[in-house]
Amino acid sequence: MTGTLPYFAALGSESGTAPRSASGPGLGRPVAMAHRGFSLAGLENTLAAFRAAVELGYSHLETDVHTTSDGELLLFHDGTLNRVTDGHGRIHDLTADEVRRARIGGTEPVPTFDELVAAFPDARFNLDVKDWHSVPSTVAAIERHQVHDRVLIASFSDRRRRAVLKQLSRRTASSAGTMADTLFLVLGPLLSARVLGSPARAVLRRALRDVDALQVPVRYRAIPVVTAGFVRRAHELGLYVHVWTINDPAEMHRLLDLGVDGIVSDRADLLKDVLQARGQWA
């Protein structure tokens, strides 16, 4: 666990003084992350949406990756083309040429990771690895472009996330999967209360051994996740807390008041307004 990786140091202060890496979790400016880019027209995970976010001043872009049958790493959330494109079929059953014929919202092509890196050479990328088919292609793409310092590897599956990390030649930032998040949520209060026995401590330590951030929802069904205690305990362990997917300005303010280190939002415009109003926009 570390808060000094370059991914977290991308945002320095407006005066050009210490970057985030000099402060660490709980200090400095929160990271604003554009969820699948920014498009009020619903053109998620398109180069147009990522460009709109960058033009707003965003340096951190959240996206998802899937892989075609012939190994092309694509930026796409769903396992199929059906929901957001005029095409059909499971991505890992289609070739790259077949996917290129589809249009998101009827207008925008499905972009590749290579195109994203080329288009935005200064951006940071929060990559949600959606399936096992994408593990080798994600590793190959990061190695090909040498963007280890510019990516954070995420996945709901801790096993899949670790499979990517294990094959990389250099360390990248990483956020916990569902199991590690759950263990921290359940065992964290006991750890702070110093009633957690050594076997349970060892379980928690092992679950978080390669984790830099907890990227979590505000709540899971009826269970609160992001509380003042949750944020405090994460910071005590040197972990960043990023919250998704927050589109309401009042909720953004509330979470920032709790001390969260980042917010993922579909409404990049509103999140920017909130951070500017608080003097926290870099």
CATH of the domain at 43: 3.20.20.190
Four-CA torsion 196, 202, 207, 208, nearest 10 degrees: 80
Whether 115 maps to a domain, the answer reads yes
* pLDDT score recorded for residue 11: 45
- Contact residues for 6 (Cβ-Cβ < 8 A; gap 6+): 21, 149, 150
Q: How confident is the model at residue 27 (pLDDT cuts 50, 70, 90)?
A: confident
* pLDDT score recorded for residue 8: 86
Whether 158 maps to a domain, the answer reads yes
* 178-192 helix and 228-236 helix, angle to the nearest 10 degrees: 90
Q: Which domain holds residue 194?
A: 6-12+29-275
Whether 281 maps to a domain, the answer reads no
* pTM for the whole structure: 0.91
Whether 23 maps to a domain, the answer reads no
Q: How far apart are the first and last CA of the chain?
A: 25
| Residue 63: closest CA among 51, 48, 81, 75 | 75
Least confident of 9-18, 124-133, 166-175: 9-18
Q: Does 133 qualify as catalytic in the annotation?
A: no
Q: 122-158, pLDDT tens digit by residue?
A: 999 999 999 999 999 999 999 999 999 999 999 999 9
Check whether 102 has a pLDDT greater than 70: yes
Q: Does 77 qualify as catalytic in the annotation?
A: yes
Q: How confident is the model at residue 5 (pLDDT cuts 50, 70, 90)?
A: confident
CA distance 70 to 96: 7
Whether 20 maps to a domain, the answer reads no
Whether 184 maps to a domain, the answer reads yes
CA distance 269 to 258: 21
State the catalytic residue, choosing from 35, 60, 133, 242. 35
Whether 102 maps to a domain, the answer reads yes
Average pLDDT for 10-35: 63
Average pLDDT for 278-282: 91
Q: What percent of the chain has pLDDT over 90?
A: 80
CA distance 35 to 53: 9
* pLDDT score recorded for residue 16: 35
Whether 179 maps to a domain, the answer reads yes
Q: Domains in the chain: how many in total?
A: 1
Q: How confident is the model at residue 188 (pLDDT cuts 50, 70, 90)?
A: confident
Q: Could you tell me where the DSSP H helices lie in the chain?
A: 47-56, 96-100, 113-119, 135-145, 158-167, 178-192, 198-207, 228-236, 249-258, 268-277
* pLDDT score recorded for residue 232: 93
State the catalytic residue, choosing from 60, 66, 77, 145. 77
* pLDDT score recorded for residue 192: 64
Least confident of 133-137, 193-197, 201-205, 241-245: 193-197
